[in-house]
């Protein structure tokens, strides 16, 4: 393992005003999003849509990395240039989603665990040849009064740590993504409790597996009330709860925390990120974004599956990236006009 390679990739993923685009939706997820705009989820439509994101003029000003789905890693733009090469030319580091999705965790009703460790080392070598320099693996945690179980917290942490070590052995930077889901009626206090428990377990497992913390990207949830709770926290409340947890659980050796948007609207995720960056107190990490819906929703709505809407979609995507770049620097001042498909 060459630590210099890992450190350089992380350095390329840590920059003022920039964050990571998550364009790694599974076939099922992208179909659901295309259904919402009346577009068919064909291979060509998926290629066209993801290509328009990566060919957006000036996108390297606000996006430093992109997480691709395996299908996209092998696709090309309309000129025949591979999409990883398109990203690199724009100053955007290509990455790849490597997990194989979740299944029920045996012995823990209501909990999930992610599959895909078998053959991962071999797959990473192929992905590297296609241009990927970092990888992403997501573990999810359902929340209720009893969930997640301690078994789920421990099992998911172990899987994340094994994945991270395999990646670093291959000189691929691992994005470590433990997502405490917004789904449910839980309070922000319950989310705070679960998120802290999850992060402590994850970093204990990373330590056991001798993962170099300077060579990872942490992609967690913000601390939020459940979507069905009927509660609405202000950005300042979200920032306070989130930073309290991260100061307790995330070592300073981690260089960057790139939050997922996790079901928040585009405007909410930007406002909350800005509040996190403007909050007082010690923050030893870069605090940035790795958004899927939070960056793409306006662009997807503007595109509508129509070639003639490509420029409008790119303009919407660029604007969302610009606003999140401001939030990453604590300089976002809100929006007077609601964003399309917010």
- Identify the pLDDT of residue 2: 87
Q: Do residues 218 and 256 lie in contact, with contact meaning Cβ atoms separated by under 8 Å?
A: yes
Q: What is the mean pLDDT of residues 132-140?
A: 98
- Say how many residues make up the chain: 342
Taking the C-alpha atoms of residue 126 and residue 150, their distance in angstroms, rounded to an integer, is: 35
Q: What is the pTM of this model?
A: 0.95
Greater pLDDT, 250 or 335: 250
Instruction: In whole angstroms, give the CA distance from residue 266 to residue 247.
Output: 26
* Rounded-to-integer distance, Cα 152 and Cα 104, Å: 10
Report CA 320 to chain centroid distance, whole Å. 15
Tens digit of pLDDT for each residue in 24-47? Answer: 998 889 999 999 999 999 999 999
At the fourth CATH level, the homologous superfamily of domain 3-328 is: Aldolase class I (3.20.20.70)
Residue that wins the pLDDT comparison between 40 and 340: 40
More confident residue, 197 or 78: 197
- 219 tagged catalytic: yes
Confidence of residue 337 (pLDDT cuts 50, 70, 90): low
The backbone torsions φ and ψ at residue 21, rounded to the nearest 5 degrees and listed phi first, read: -85, 125
Q: Which of 136, 196, 219, 268 is catalytic?
A: 219
pLDDT at 274 exceeding the cut of 70: yes
Residue 137 has a pLDDT of 98
Average pLDDT of the residues of the chain: 95
* Confidence category of residue 1, pLDDT binned at 50, 70, 90: confident
DSSP 19: E
How far apart (Å, rounded) are the C-alpha atoms in residues 292 and 30? Answer: 11
DSSP string, 266-280: HHHHHHHHHHHHHSS
pLDDT of residue 268: 96
> What is the distance between the alpha carbons of residues 128 and 96, in angstroms, rounded to a whole number?
9
**CA 326/CA 61 separation, integer angstroms:** 11
Query: Mind listing the pLDDT tens digit for each residue in 222-238?
Result: 999 999 999 999 999 99
Check 177, 179, 196, 268 and give the catalytic one.
177
Q: Which two tokens stand for residue 245?
A: 């947890």
Confidence (pLDDT) at 261: 95
Percent of the chain residues past pLDDT 90, beyond the cut? 94
């Amino acid at each position: 393992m060459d630590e210099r390679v890992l450190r350089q990739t992380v350095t390329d993923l840590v920059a003022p005003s920039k964050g990571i685009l998550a364009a790694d939706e599974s076939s099922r997820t992208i179909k659901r999003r295309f259904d919402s705009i009346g577009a068919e989820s064909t291979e060509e439509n998926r290629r066209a849509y993801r290509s328009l994101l990566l060919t957006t003029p000036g996108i390297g000003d606000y996006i430093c990395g992109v997480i691709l789905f395996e299908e996209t890693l092998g696709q090309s733009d309309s000129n025949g240039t591979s999409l990883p090469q398109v990203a690199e030319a724009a100053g955007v580091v290509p990455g790849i989603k490597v997990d194989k999705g979740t299944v029920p965790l045996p012995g823990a009703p209501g909990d999930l665990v992610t599959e895909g460790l078998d053959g991962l080392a071999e797959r990473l070598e192929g992905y590297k040849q296609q241009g990927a320099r970092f990888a992403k693996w997501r573990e999810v945690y359902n929340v209720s009064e009893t969930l997640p179980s301690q078994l789920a917290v421990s099992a998911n942490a172990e899987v994340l740590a094994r994945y991270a070590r395999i990646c670093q052995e291959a000189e691929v930077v691992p994005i470590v993504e433990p997502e405490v889901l917004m789904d449910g009626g839980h309070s922000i206090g319950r989310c705070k409790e679960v998120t802290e428990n999850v992060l402590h377990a994850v970093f204990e497992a990373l330590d056991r597996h001798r993962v170099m913390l300077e060579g990872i990207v942490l992609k967690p949830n913000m601390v939020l009330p459940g979507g069905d709770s009927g509660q609405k926290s202000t950005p300042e409340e979200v920032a306070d709860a989130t930073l309290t947890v991260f100061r307790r659980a995330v070592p300073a050796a981690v260089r960057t925390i790139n939050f997922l948007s996790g079901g928040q609207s585009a405007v909410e995720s930007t406002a909350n990120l800005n509040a996190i960056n403007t909050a007082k107190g010690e923050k030893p990490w870069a605090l940035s974004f790795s958004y899927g819906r939070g960056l793409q929703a306006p662009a997807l709505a503007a595109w509508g599956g129509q070639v003639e809407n490509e420029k409008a979609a790119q303009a919407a995507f660029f604007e969302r990236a610009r606003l999140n770049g401001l939030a990453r620097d604590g300089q976002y001042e809100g929006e007077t006009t609601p964003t399309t498909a917010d």
